[in-house]
């Protein structure tokens, strides 16, 4: 499936969040207020 998606330019939509926003993201998930998959920016741990 990954090869097929790569060959046809199929990508997923994501919303990048900082680690500090994880609780807000969880609350949004509970409210079904999420349009894209959350991806945590691990570089935000260093800040």
**Helix, strand or coil, per DSSP, at residue 41:** strand
Average pLDDT over residues 6-18: 95
Do 40 and 14 meet the contact criterion of CB atoms below 8 Å apart? no
Q: What is the pTM of this model?
A: 0.68
Do 17 and 39 meet the contact criterion of CB atoms below 8 Å apart? yes
Q: What is the pLDDT of residue 16?
A: 95
Of the chain, the percentage scoring pLDDT greater than 70 comes to 98
Q: What does the chain come to in residues?
A: 47
Would the pLDDT of 47 be above 80? no
Judge whether 28 lies within some domain.
yes
Judge whether 22 lies within some domain.
yes
Nearest to 46 by CA among 21, 24, 26, 18: 18
Number of domains present in the structure of the chain: 1
Judge whether 3 lies within some domain.
no
| Full domain range(s) for residue 23 | 13-45
- Distance from C-alpha of 27 to C-alpha of 32, rounded to nearest angstrom: 9
Q: What is the pLDDT of residue 46?
A: 83
């Amino acid at each position: 499936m990954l090869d097929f998606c790569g060959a046809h330019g199929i990508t997923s939509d994501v919303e990048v969040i900082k680690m500090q926003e994880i609780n807000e993201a969880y609350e949004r998930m509970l409210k079904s207020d999420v349009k894209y998959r959350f991806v945590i920016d691990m570089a935000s741990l260093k800040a």
